[in-house]
Chains A and B, each alone.
Chain A
Amino acid sequence: MIKTDILIIGSGPTGLFAVFEAGLLQLKCHLIDALPQPGGQCAEIYPKKPIYDIPGFPEVLAGKLVDNLMEQIAPFQPGFTLGERADTIEKLEDGTFIVTTNKGTKHHAPIVAIAGGLGSFEPRKPQLENLAQFEDKGVAYIIKEPEVYRDKKVVIAGGGDSALDWSIFLSDVASEVTLVHRRNEFRGALDSVEKVQQLKNEGKINLITPAEVKQLVGTDRLEKVIVRKTDNSEEIELEVDNFIPLFGLSPKLGPIADWGLEIEKNAIKVDNTLDYQTNIPGVYAIGDVNTYPGKLKLILCGFHEATLMCQSAYQRIYPDKKYVMKYTTVGGVTGFDGSKKEAPKAVVKSIE
């Protein structure tokens, strides 16, 4: 069981900055994120895009903003549960919470702050009739163990980096790799595109474009896929062991929607007059995942919400303690790692 003061669900910019504000109040944080790396959308979707409305940064790349936040919060030693999705929440008699992930990891905290953005990123699934029937029976959306595909006949669909990269990788592992894409052009790193071209020329990757997988065939397991060329409607039947559609990720609010929280417009309603608490006392929602009158889904608004949330969380954890907010210019930053940052003291010296 992982224990912490504030359990933050989602490690995008809002969740990360909450660690800093909590740290100033000597509160420890642990973050859960479905993606394998922190940063949320900024790291996953648009790391190379510049952002122009972070106060004090005329221009900052989204990926760089995440790097900066990670550096800023490092003294407060946040814990991370990455690559796991927060699935269930349980309120204990003492008012604290246990949050369990899809992999069974349990987290115990008096405060839960949902900073889940648009939700957890799930693989986009193609619209094929009997797709669900073959999930884990030949169909997978994420490649976890490449060895599973050793000496197998594999069909990959998609035109992005992951489709290209896995086609290249599996061409050495699988007995047969077929890559199906709706267009002749691929959107990937130039190296990967050239490598696939080379492997195609060597006969190590069977490339079918422009085409789509139209049908899955099999009794217990996947046995065949039907591919239709989109230029001449020719249908190609392929005997396969595995079909891996790699169409990227899309965010879904997911299990959080079933936590008994008040939801409006695919977002969690919070009290914006005070502390961004939800209808469940002790559970807060900050950043893009919440909604209230006048809500703006901006990173800078998430930072503000995170800050007020931490103050409220502190009072909830320590109802009897008196506390006044301290400026970092005055109090400095004392990390849990023993580090201390503070303004250099002015030298007082008389001029003679």
Chain B
Amino acid sequence: MSDIKIKITDRDGVLHEVDAPTDMNMNLMEVVRSYELAPEGTIGICGGMAMCASCQCYVKSDHDLPEKSDDEEAMLAEAFFVEDNSRLGCQLHITPELEGLEVELAPEEG
């Protein structure tokens, strides 16, 4: 077991501090779903293929995150409510380096 702590602000502005496992091949979108911080069907719609932006989040802490893939870049170029610190949760794999990560879920698209 090797868990890290992540702070996630949900779409209602509520802050949750959760334990995320680094050894379960999970990504941030899946962590959000596993704690049901956003209703099923409103996050991770494409299943984690960077083909929708339902798991978009804003990264609030200054962690050194892996570069965006072309797929993620392209999806974020088409998504709404995008900010400079936007990432797709499904493309952020839970690794020990993300200890203390702080993110906020982007609003749901209309």
Residue numbers of A with Cβ under 8 A of B are 41, 45-46, 49, 118, 124-127, 158-160, 181-183, 185, 187, 247-248, 250-251, 253, 265-267, 291, 297
Is B41 an interface position by the 8 A CB rule?
Answer: yes
Closest 3 CB pairs of A and B: A266-B41, A187-B74, A265-B40
Could you say which interface size class chain B belongs to? 20 to 34
On whether the beta carbons of B41 and A265 are closer than 8 Å, the reply is: yes
Q: Is the CB of A250 within 8 A of B77?
A: no
The reply to whether B39 and A46 form a contact with Cβ atoms under 8 Å apart is no
On whether the beta carbons of A125 and B110 are closer than 8 Å, the reply is: yes
Alpha-carbon gap, A181 to B74, bound state (A)? 11
Q: From the candidates B39, B52, B73, B82, name the one contacting A250 in the complex (CB within 8 A).
A: B52
User: Which one of B41, B47, B51 lies within 8 Å of A267 (CB-CB)?
Assistant: B41
Tell me which of B42, B45, B80 contacts A127 (CB under 8 A): B80
Residue from B51, B78, B80, B82 in contact with A159 in the complex, judged by beta carbons closer than 8 Å? B78
B110 proximity list for chain A (CB < 8 A): 125, 127
Residue on B nearest A157 in the bound complex, by CB = B78
- B34-63 interface bits toward A, Cβ cutoff 8 Å, 1 = contact, 0 = none: 000001111001110101100000000000
* Chain B residues within an 8 Å CB radius of A291: 40
A211 vs chain B, min Cβ distance (A): 12
* Contact between B80 and A251, CB atoms less than 8 A apart: no
Q: Return 7 A-B CB contacts under 8 Å, by A number.
A: A45-B46, A45-B51, A49-B49, A124-B109, A159-B78, A185-B73, A187-B77
Contact A266 B78 (CB under 8 A): no
In contact, B42 and A266 (Cβ under 8 angstroms):
yes
**Is there an interface contact between B81 and A127, defined as CB atoms closer than 8 Å?**
yes
If the complex has contacts A45-B51, A46-B51, A127-B110, are A247 and B78 also in contact, measured as CB distance less than 8 A? Answer: yes
Contact A118 B41 (CB under 8 A): yes
Contacting A181 at CB < 8 Å: which of B39, B51, B77, B80? B77
User: A250–B41 contact, CB under 8 A?
Assistant: no
**Minimum Cβ distance to chain B for residue A56 (Å):** 21
Instruction: List CB contacts (< 8 Å) of B4-18 with chain A.
Output: none
Inter-chain contact A160/B78, CB cutoff 8 Å: yes
Pair B45/A250 contact, Cβ less than 8 Å? yes
Write the nearest CB–CB distance from A215 to chain B, whole angstroms. Answer: 15
Chain A positions within 8 Å of B81 at CB level: 127
B45 to chain A: which residues have CB within 8 Å? 118, 250-251
Across the interface, do A265 and B78 meet the contact criterion of CB distance under 8 Å?
A: no
In the docked arrangement, what's the CA distance between A297 and B70, Å?
Answer: 27
Selected from B42, B52, B77, the residue in CB contact (under 8 A) with A183 is: B77
- A192 smallest CB distance to B (angstroms): 14
Known: A160-B74, A160-B78, A266-B39. 20 other contacts (CB 8 A): A41-B46, A45-B46, A46-B49, A49-B49, A124-B80, A127-B81, A159-B74, A181-B77, A182-B77, A182-B82, A183-B77, A185-B74, A185-B77, A187-B70, A187-B74, A187-B77, A250-B52, A250-B109, A266-B41, A267-B41
**Whose C-beta in chain B lies nearest to the C-beta of A131?**
B110
**A159 and B42 contact, Cβ closer than 8 Å, known pairs A45-B51, A127-B110:** no
Min CB distance, B73 to chain A, in Å? Answer: 8
Contacting pair A266 B49 (CB below 8 A): no
Q: Please give, as numbers and ranges, the residues of chain B lying within 8 Å of A46 by CB-CB distance.
A: 46, 49, 51
